[in-house]
Structures are given as structure tokens and as C-alpha cells.
Amino acid sequence: MSYTARLSKSFIKSVKVFPKDVKERIAESVKEILSNPYSGVQLVGGLKGFWKKRIGKYRIVYEIDEDNKLVLFLDVGLRSKIYSRMKR
């Protein structure tokens, strides 16, 4: 069963700055996540409850609402920066 996407303001803002090829890879990963949200990796520590999907040096961070069959895409960015940005 497919899930519905909800994009946060941070996610939308972050995607806008990427070059076209990266945007296409992000869009493809979003489709994959919506068809199987548990294909990502569950985060631990301060980000417990969130999931990540690796796209080369970038990461998509998202949350799954199983009751409503919803995936909330929280942010996307470079691996080196995304997790510190999420903890704020």
C-alpha cells in the first residue's frame, strides 16, 4: 500500500537549492520511500523515531505516521550538516 507525502517547509526550502540532477534523485527516492517507508534506516539517539534515506552524500530525513499512512519529509541535505540541523 502506498503512503501519502507531506513536505515540511524545511524540506521544500532545502530542495530548491540543489542542482537539477540532485533534485531528480531526491524525487526518485521520495517515490521509493512512499512505496515502502521502511526501506530507509531508523535513526537513534536524539533523532530516535525518525528515518533516513541515503542518496550519495545527501540524506533525506523523514517520519512515518503508520495510522494515517503518511510520510512526513522533514529535511534533506548533506550528510555532514543534516543531523546537526535536525537537532535544532
> Could you read off the pLDDT of 7-32 as tens digits, one per residue?
999 999 999 999 999 999 999 999 99
Architecture of domain 4-86: 2-Layer Sandwich (3.30)
Residue 30 and residue 62 in contact, taking contact as beta carbons nearer than 8 Å: no
Return phi, psi of residue 78, to 5°.
Answer: -65, 140
CA distance 24 to 14: 14
Confidence class for position 80, pLDDT limits 50, 70, 90 = confident
> Could you read off the pLDDT of 22-59 as tens digits, one per residue?
999 999 999 999 999 999 999 998 899 999 999 999 99
Domain boundaries, the chain: 4-86
Dump the DSSP string for 7-57: E-HHHHHHHHTS-HHHHHHHHHHHHHHHH-GGGSEE--GGGTT-EEEEETT
